Amino acid sequence: MTAAETSPAKTVKPAVVKAAEVAPNRRRGGDIRVTLSPKTTSCTSGFGGVLYLGAGEHVAEHYHPYSEEFLHVIAGELEMKLDGEPVRIGPGDSLLVPINVRHRLVNVGDVEAHVVFHLSPLAPRPDLGHVDTEELPAPHEPGPQVGGPR
């Protein structure tokens, strides 16, 4: 058999999504922009994007019952509380948040932080992806639109 005969069929086409063209979501805090997701690109294994977090801002504590979260810090000094335990991360650092671990991210520096994130695998439905465990900074805003048709 050739590689083509044993490879799965391509169902998702390559895509470029510009963060500057994605509406910010501030429901949980900061400026979260989901760039790659089933809704934006028809991807099937997870979703990701960028987070901009001003000095002193935070992302409210929550956990993911189905997904691991991967973060990579581009700029800024941050503290992530993982099940209440603080972890400091800065430029060039990457952090794994395991499934079901409560986490809360705070910009402890004096400049805007920039973080790239990815979550995988996807929850069975978008409404099952996050469980909030504290009051949200902007509860009136809808959550990021991750799943569903483009």
The pLDDT value recorded for residue 79 is 98
**From CA 84, how far away is CA 61, in angstroms rounded?**
10
- Is-contact 88 24, C-beta < 8 A? no
The pLDDT value recorded for residue 144 is 85
Average pLDDT over residues 92-101: 98
Hey, is 103 helix, strand or coil?
strand
Higher-scoring residue by pLDDT: 132, 8: 132
The pLDDT value recorded for residue 1 is 57
Model confidence over 23-49: pLDDT tens digits? 999 999 999 999 999 999 989 999 999
Longest dimension (CA), the chain: 58
Dihedral angle over CA of 11, 17, 19, 20, nearest 10:
-160
Average pLDDT over residues 125-129: 86
Higher-scoring residue by pLDDT: 4, 13: 13
- Is-contact 78 87, C-beta < 8 A? no
17: pLDDT confidence band, cut at 50, 70 and 90? very high
The pLDDT value recorded for residue 5 is 58
Give the chain's mean pLDDT: 92
Model confidence over 47-72: pLDDT tens digits? 999 999 999 999 999 999 999 999 99
What letters, b where the CB count within 10 A reaches 16 and e where it falls short, cover 33-47?
bbbbbbbbbebeebb
